[in-house]
Amino acid sequence: MEQKKINTTLEEDQLMVERLFSKEALANYDKSASNVPASYFEKFPETLQQRIANNKPKVFFLTPLGKMAIAAVFLVIVSSTFIFLNNSVSKKSIMVSISMQDISNDEIEAYVDANEWMADIDWQSETFKSDTEIEQFYKDSID
């Protein structure tokens, strides 16, 4: 039944719609949809070609002199970056050596005295760790 209904000709398909709405209404609908500004279709190809031309990617052809100029600029950038990085590394190492020299022995001793208790804690935790490791080793060997 459904199959029979679907196998319809173009005329039958159009008639189904025209029974719901009038043929005139459908013709009016199409005419309204087809309304265009004056000479739109005459101008359209030209407008389109302009838009296509604007969308094309621009290709630059460099002269040998231009290529050399770009290469020179590239070299300058690379070399200046290299020199800048080298300078900053050497400055850092100088700053470290100066700062170590500037600290007096008294200051170092005072720092050690003040933080002695911390060194004790570190030492204790290390010894505890080694004890547990040894215990674990013995346990493993017995098992």
Partner 1 sequence: MQSDQELILQFQKSIQREETFTQLVKKHQAKVYHQIKRMVNDHDDADDIAQMVWIKIWNKLDGFKMESEFSTWLFRIAYNETLNFIAKQKRQGSNTSSTDILNYENTPSHTDAPKSSEIQIKLDQGIKQLPEKQQFVFMLRYFEELNYEKIASITGTTVGGAKANYHQAIKKLEEFLKKS
Q: Tell the smallest beta-carbon distance from residue 60 to partner 1 (Å).
A: 21
Q: Among 114, 115, 95, which Cα is nearest to 123's?
A: 115
Nearest residue (CB) to partner 1, 53 versus 98: 53
Nearest residue (CB) to partner 1, 17 versus 103: 17
15 phi-psi bin (left φ>0, alpha ψ -120 to 50, beta other)? alpha
DSSP 28-42: HHHHHHT---TTHHH
Q: How many Å apart are CA 96 and CA 103, to the nearest integer?
A: 11
Nearest residue (CB) to partner 1, 51 versus 92: 51
Q: Which residues bind partner 1 (CB under 8 A)?
A: 5-7, 10, 13-14, 16-17, 20-22, 24-37, 40-41, 44-45, 47-49, 51-52, 55
Q: Tell the smallest beta-carbon distance from residue 35 to partner 1 (Å).
A: 6
Q: Tell the smallest beta-carbon distance from residue 4 to partner 1 (Å).
A: 12
Q: CB within 8 A of 18, min separation 6: which ones?
A: 26
